[in-house]
Amino acid sequence: MPITTNAYTKYFQERFGREPLLFLAPGRINLIGEHVDYNDGFVMPAAVDRHMIFAIAPNDNDRCNIYAQDFKEGVTFSLNELNPGETWVNYLMGVIEGFAQRGLPVKGVDCVFGGNILAGSGLSSSAALCCGFGFALNEIFGCGLSRLELAKIAQFSEHQFAGVNCGIMDQYASLFGKEGYVLMLDCRALTHGYLPFKFDEVEILLIDTKVKHSLGASAYNNRRQSCEEGVHVLKNKFPKIQALRDADLKSLESVRAELSEETFVKCKFVINEIDRTKRAAKFLKEDNLKGFGQMMYESHWGLSKEYDVSCPESDLLVTLASETSDVLGARQTGGGFGGCTINLIRKAAVKSFSEKVRQKYVATFEKEPDFYSINLASGVHIEK
């Protein structure tokens, strides 16, 4: 469902009796480079045309009155008393705390927000929530923060107030996205380039498994811990290795006896995934979508068999995709355990492929997947 910005102006006017400013914050997909952002690696995300929208205005006191349109739920809290409560409020409080820690003068706001990024679909609605809210506060109160600083605040919120020890990819993509482009983000330098991603005959089809991932669950943090354990051991032998980005398969193999099998396999996946992402970028620059797609498939099976963050539903979708030459590449996107698969598919085949997948998916799992084609969109912005 497209977002109607006018509707949000109206919701705000009805609730607060004045005019709001409107801000849009996109969700993101990740083409390749999964679970490598917290290993200082390279990732290739893009902002997509699914958004969180904020109708918001300052209210001249120290209270925030926030209404979540999609949940039909309102919360009021004082800026001086940030007591985490329901999940979505935590994210916003975390952002405010991030401003406060920088000594920035945020005051109270009235806000109605909502959107069309389904929570749990792997498109990072939480990053869009934090980035959009932070961007709005920055504009309204003239704090002068850069997009990178805002990404860091949004990440901080996720760490502190939601308990997910995430990397910075999602926040970065939501803030720095560019229409028609993917980002090649260096997660160590925190710099990026843009690669055009527009093809006449191929589109990006998302298939939502409808399996809601729960990143808060310790699984994500456990994976991160395995990587840190690996680095700890590698560092003893190779002091220059500060993150898995600095390791290669040879160095990893040389310390294998000191690692648990679990840690070894997880680190191996990450080292390979960083390499795949660089190769994928090269294929993309050469307009070689077949080569690019191959990297996506390899990434998926690494996530499934080695990193262990897939699920039977995502695996079936990727298997079905790999059975037709019309899908050049497919993989589960995001943190994992469900959510969406991304499919690079020939436009002419979208209908027949979707129908075939629907039938098999329903027959296997007795539930309907969702299909939607997406476009690559611009990062967080004010809607004029």
At 51, list the tokens.
């958004």
In the complex with ligand GLA, which residue's Cβ is closer, 53 or 166? 166
Q: Which position has the token pair 């991160």?
A: 224
Q: Which position has the token pair 């993917």?
A: 182
Q: How far is CA 365 from CA 86, 352, 354, in A?
A: 31, 20, 16
Residues 6+ apart with CB under 8 A from 59: 16, 65, 107, 108, 109, 110
Among 79, 154, 166, 274, binds ligand GLA (CB under 6 A): 166
- Near ligand GLA in 90-129, by CB under 6 A: 124
Is position 273 an interface residue for ligand GLA (rule: CB under 6 A)? no
Task: Name the β-bridge partners of 29.
Answer: 46
In the complex with ligand GLA, which residue's Cβ is closer, 255 or 303? 303
The helix-helix angle for 87-101 and 147-162 (nearest 10°) equals 130
Is position 35 an interface residue for ligand GLA (rule: CB under 6 A)? yes
- Near ligand GLA in 317-336, by CB under 6 A: 334-335
66's enclosing H/E stretch is: strand 63-68
SS3 252: helix
In the complex with ligand GLA, which residue's Cβ is closer, 170 or 229? 170
In the complex with ligand GLA, which residue's Cβ is closer, 336 or 369? 336
Report the nearest approach of ligand GLA to the CB of residue 36 (Å). 7
Among 40, 49, 110, 170, binds ligand GLA (CB under 6 A): 170
Residue 170 annotated among the catalytic residues of the structure? yes
Report the nearest approach of ligand GLA to the CB of residue 336 (Å). 7
Report the nearest approach of ligand GLA to the CB of residue 349 (Å). 28
Catalytic residue of the set 170, 246, 287, 370: 170
Among 37, 110, 298, 315, binds ligand GLA (CB under 6 A): 37
Among 79, 112, 169, 259, binds ligand GLA (CB under 6 A): 169
User: Under a CB-based contact definition with an 8 Å cutoff, are residues 206 and 29 in contact?
Assistant: yes
Is position 269 an interface residue for ligand GLA (rule: CB under 6 A)? no
- Residue 193's Cβ-count burial label (10 Å; 0-12, 13-18, 19+) is exposed
In the complex with ligand GLA, which residue's Cβ is closer, 51 or 213? 213
SS3 236: helix
Residue among 142, 60, 154 nearest 107 (CA): 60
Which residues are at the interface with ligand GLA (CB under 6 A)? 30, 34-35, 37-38, 124, 166-167, 169-170, 334-335
Catalytic amino acids? Answer: 170
